[in-house]
Amino acid sequence: MRVSNSSSPTFLCAMPFDSSLIFLEETSLVSRPVLYYMGLKRRMVPRLRHLGIRVKPVLEDEKCLIPMGGPLPQIPQSVMAIGGTSGLVHPSTGYKVAGTMALTPVLADAIAECLGSTRMIRGHQLYHRMWNSLWPIERRHTREFYSFGMETLLKLDLNGTRRFFDAFFDLDPCHWQGFLSSRLSLQELVMLSLSLFGRASNPSRFDIITKCPIPLAKMMANIAIETF
């Protein structure tokens, strides 16, 4: 378990409801290939044993897989989507609900503006406006940066991940909270990266320098393609 966890880290989420009822979840933040249920279960059992947690009845067994990263849907297209099917899952965290709720009024306003206009905008123009209200160029750029964050995490082993998050959560709260909630602009993300590198330990800086050039080049190429 220690060897596999070192190369593909997982962690235990715990949320107690009372003294004898607790929600436990063995979680992989991001992995390629995917860590499936039985692999996570094989890690969770000895972890609970090591922590001295004795499970009595299991009330519910949850299996969850959140696809992260990947390309956006074809933009525009005649089928409108929202949430996970429209690419709104945060590539670095898997968060989706808050971002989707924040963008739903934006999409609704675009639809209302088109259908409520005197010209009744429909067809390709309607699809174009709807999709571009959801994914304007700035948001596509920031998504590339969040995907770069995901690719960075994929390159790190257990100790590298711990060092990275030590530096990440040492940032100004407006930076790390903004990153987790997808609220930062591209310029703010650049400032976050510079601050992160400045606060990181020397081993973490070495990880960033040696393991991130290819994901960084890919991000910059994708941003250039989106721009031009």
Q: Is residue 62 part of a domain?
A: no
* Whether residue 147 sits in one domain with residue 103: no
Q: In the chain, which stretches have pLDDT less than 70?
A: 1, 117-118
Q: Is residue 199 part of a domain?
A: yes
* Whether residue 91 sits in one domain with residue 107: yes
* Whether residue 221 sits in one domain with residue 194: yes
Per-residue model confidence (pLDDT) at position 227 = 84
Return d(Cα 168, Cα 99) in angstroms, integer: 21
Per-residue model confidence (pLDDT) at position 20 = 85
Per-residue model confidence (pLDDT) at position 5 = 74
* Whether residue 126 sits in one domain with residue 202: no
Q: What is the pLDDT of residues 167-207, one digit of tens each?
A: 999 999 999 999 999 999 999 999 999 999 999 999 999 99
Return d(Cα 166, Cα 211) in angstroms, integer: 18
What are 107's two structure tokens?
A: 């999409």
Per-residue model confidence (pLDDT) at position 211 = 92
Closest CA to 171 of 144, 138, 194: 194
* Whether residue 150 sits in one domain with residue 119: no
C-alpha neighbours within 13 Å on the C-beta side of residue 176: 12
Per-residue model confidence (pLDDT) at position 116 = 80
- Reduced to 3 states (helix: H, G, I; strand: E, B; else coil), residue 82 is coil
Domain that holds residue 212: 139-227
Domain total for the chain?
3
